[in-house]
Amino acid sequence: MSDLYDYPVVIEIPVAWGEMDSFKHVNNTHYFRYFESARVKYTEELKILDFMNDYAKGPILSETSAKFLAPVTYPDTLSVGIRSVTAKDGKLIQQYAIWSHEQSRMVTLGESTMLFFDYKIGKRCDIPEELALRMTKLEPSLSASLKSTQS
Amino acid sequence: MSDLYDYPVVIEIPVAWGEMDSFKHVNNTHYFRYFESARVKYTEELKILDFMNDYAKGPILSETSAKFLAPVTYPDTLSVGIRSVTAKDGKLIQQYAIWSHEQSRMVTLGESTMLFFDYKIGKRCDIPEELALRMTKLEPSLSASLKSTQS
Amino acid sequence: MSDLYDYPVVIEIPVAWGEMDSFKHVNNTHYFRYFESARVKYTEELKILDFMNDYAKGPILSETSAKFLAPVTYPDTLSVGIRSVTAKDGKLIQQYAIWSHEQSRMVTLGESTMLFFDYKIGKRCDIPEELALRMTKLEPSLSASLKSTQS
Amino acid sequence: MSDLYDYPVVIEIPVAWGEMDSFKHVNNTHYFRYFESARVKYTEELKILDFMNDYAKGPILSETSAKFLAPVTYPDTLSVGIRSVTAKDGKLIQQYAIWSHEQSRMVTLGESTMLFFDYKIGKRCDIPEELALRMTKLEPSLSASLKSTQS
């Protein structure tokens, strides 16, 4: 678990038996659900949804990927960490790491790219400044990357 | 397939490999997705969603059940039929039957109960008369059951 | 939660954001996953899977149903209880109750019927006596119902 | 659809209403199910599963990614194409493209990496020669890439 120390948001998810497929390990699609759940939690910490409602600007999932290091089987509990690695030019790149409690090791890594949109004009926009501020509060290491956006 | 002749709406769904679980047959939860897909198609035939937007009255799923007659495995294509059996007192009871093309037999039966709500007052209401008319057009056998509602 | 006191096995499941559908509440199919997760946990408590491997006798899901009392939305945590109500003639009927931590009330009730099979001969069989014993240990109230099976 | 002409295996999948999430478009996790269904079909064309049973060598999903070009909504039918782009050193890289019938355009692109394993020794192995032959028959453009593996 100590391996997730540099992920500012970590959630815990019990593996469901029904998430295993015919090969008797968790089916690949569910890891993207785990990532999504961590991303939503991160979004909540930043109150991004309120922001989307008030300013009509928000992120859209553009790309996502997973690298499977080891299969996961039921029963297990997973800790899913998320962190932001780049936030500039209206693009937020985040990384995921999934730690298996049963195996005591990282079992999956992932990445996603969100693009910010101004819903009123239907076009891409910069990451709103207030959001950028909230993100650097949550993740101080991001600030350098963000500065380049604002200048 | 001829066994579905008394189901006015029938949809075809290819079974996905990933819908099988560790027991190597389609997991029970997916049958409720198949039922739902048939129900949505039935709803479309009746243009119920337009109705919900215009009159702010519509159905909410209250109960659903499935009886599994035989396991289904990938590859297969399923024909899912839906019909209404009772429509009165603001309650719509529908039945489902799933036919396996590979096994040439019915593999699952199901039922659901929808309750109609008037969203403006947040309370149950009768099935709107216009909807009842559309339903008896689609399913003439329903008319007797409906008449008792309106009187 | 006190309402789940008469369910011998109770599991806790965090609702995932992605389990909500277009109507912005948890989609009906996921409740059957919640039931299944409780059923698997119950099965583990009784070590039924070991039994299935050793004696080649085990249960198959024959029917399942849900009654939705109130919609569930993210974020929430659910406590899912399972109990057995009938266990005779090779048939195990179980009930489920789902308690919402956010709403502090029961939001869904359910039932399932498992039939026992002797895999070697491919036919239905009685609930094996050892399993019946384990079940009455876990659920003393079942003993009356079971006795009739064995006589 | 003509855009899928260079994908040797293409499957058709009807979008289910229930695959949409709260944002009212198909949830990201389902695209990986669509990819998987195409991959399984491709695997069938090559009879890889038989091979896995007979030789105890087969592929394991190591990485997968998706790039979302446009959101998909119900109702729609998707054509999902798969092709192999690299097959050497025990690694098979495949690409996916999803065409929306409603939108008449490509809505999602994807990629996956499979690693071949020799299950008897539990270690990675080269793509078995017979499989390589079957693949070049299905996809002649792959032969150059494969040759380097065998030498």
Question: What is residue B54's predicted lDDT score, i.e. its pLDDT?
Answer: 78
Burial of B98 (0-12, 13-18, 19+ CB in 10 A): buried
Per-residue pLDDT in tens (0 to 9) along chain A, 151 residues? 558 999 999 999 999 999 999 999 999 999 999 999 999 999 999 888 777 777 888 899 999 999 999 999 999 999 999 999 999 999 999 999 999 999 999 999 999 999 999 988 989 999 988 888 899 999 988 876 665 544 4
C7 forms beta bridges with: none
Question: What is residue D40's predicted lDDT score, i.e. its pLDDT?
Answer: 96
Query: Chain D contacts of B16, Cβ < 8 Å?
Result: 13, 33, 36-37
Is residue D119's pLDDT more than 60? yes
Q: Which of A33, A62, A65 sits opposite D29 (nearest CB)?
A: A33
Question: What is residue B151's predicted lDDT score, i.e. its pLDDT?
Answer: 40
Question: What is residue D150's predicted lDDT score, i.e. its pLDDT?
Answer: 46
Candidate from A106-120, B2-16, B46-60, C129-143 with smallest mean pLDDT: B46-60
Candidate from B36-40, B112-116, C146-150 with smallest mean pLDDT: C146-150
Average the pLDDT over C94-110 and give the result.
98
Q: Over the stretch D139-149, which tens digit does the pLDDT of each residue have? A: 988 876 665 54
Amino acid at B111: E
- For the D2-144 domain, the top CATH level (class) is alpha beta
Question: What is residue B150's predicted lDDT score, i.e. its pLDDT?
Answer: 45
Question: What is residue C144's predicted lDDT score, i.e. its pLDDT?
Answer: 58
Which three-class secondary structure string do you get for chain A? Answer: CHHHCCCCEEEEEECCHHHECCCCCECHHHHHHHHHHHHHHHHHHCCHHHHHHHHCEEEEEEEEEEEECCCCCCCCEEEEEEEEEEEECCEEEEEEEEEECCCCEEEEEEEEEEEEEECCCCEECCCCHHHHHHHHHHCHHHHHHHHHHHC
The residues, ordered by sequence, that sit 6+ positions from D49 with a Cβ below 8 Å of its Cβ are D43, D58
Is residue D151's pLDDT more than 90? no
Residue D87 pLDDT grade (very low, low, confident, very high; cuts 50, 70, 90): very high
Average pLDDT score over chain C: 91
The nearest CA of chain D is from the CA of B147 a distance in Å of: 32
Question: What is residue C112's predicted lDDT score, i.e. its pLDDT?
Answer: 98
Name the residue among D93, D13, D28, D94 with its Cα closest to residue D67: D28
The nearest CA of chain D is from the CA of B44 a distance in Å of: 10
The nearest CA of chain C is from the CA of D109 a distance in Å of: 22
Average pLDDT score over chain D: 91
Average the pLDDT over B84-92 and give the result.
93
Q: Is D12 helix (H, G, I), strand (E, B) or coil?
A: strand
Question: What is residue C1's predicted lDDT score, i.e. its pLDDT?
Answer: 57
Is residue C148's pLDDT more than 80? no
Would the CB atoms of D32 and A33 count as touching at under 8 Å? no
Delimit the domains of chain D by residue range.
2-144
Average the pLDDT over B35-45 and give the result.
96
Structure tokens at C47: 């070590």
Task: Report the residue of chain D nearest A61, measured CA to CA.
Answer: D68
Task: Report the residue of chain C nearest B27, measured CA to CA.
Answer: C33
In this structure, are residues B95 and B83 in contact, taking their beta carbons and an 8 Å threshold?
yes
Question: What is residue B25's predicted lDDT score, i.e. its pLDDT?
Answer: 96
Would the CB atoms of D27 and C18 count as touching at under 8 Å? yes
Is residue D130's pLDDT more than 90? no
Q: Which of D11, D16, D36 sits opposite B33 (nearest CB)?
A: D16
**What share of chain C in percent tops pLDDT 90?**
74
Query: Chain A contacts of B18, Cβ < 8 Å?
Result: 21, 27, 29
Name the residue among A32, A41, A37 with its Cα closest to residue A13: A37
**CA atoms of C88 and C13, how far apart (whole Å):** 31
Q: Over the stretch D31-59, which tens digit does the pLDDT of each residue have? A: 999 999 999 999 999 888 777 777 888 89
Tokens 């009730």, located at residue = C109
Average the pLDDT over D71-92 and give the result.
96
Strands D9-14 vs C91-100: parallel, antiparallel or unpaired? unpaired
Query: Chain B contacts of C28, Cβ < 8 Å?
Result: 32, 36, 61, 64
Maximum mean pLDDT: which of A55-64, B64-73, C85-94: B64-73
> Which one of B13, B17, B36 makes the best mutation probe of the D interface by having the most chain D beta carbons within 10 Å?
B17
Q: Over the stretch C24-67, which tens digit does the pLDDT of each residue have? A: 999 999 999 999 999 999 999 988 877 777 788 889 999 999 99
**CA atoms of B14 and B12, how far apart (whole Å):** 7
Residues listed for chain D: 151
Question: What is residue B1's predicted lDDT score, i.e. its pLDDT?
Answer: 57
Question: What is residue D47's predicted lDDT score, i.e. its pLDDT?
Answer: 84
Q: Over the stretch D11-32, which tens digit does the pLDDT of each residue have? A: 999 999 999 999 999 999 999 9
Amino acid at A40: V
Is residue B126's pLDDT more than 70? yes
Is residue C143's pLDDT more than 80? no
Q: Domain B2-150, what fold?
A: Thiol Ester Dehydrase; Chain A (3.10.129)
**What share of chain B in percent tops pLDDT 90?**
74
Candidate from A1-5, D2-6, D124-128 with smallest mean pLDDT: A1-5
- Cβ atoms within 10 Å, residue D1: 10
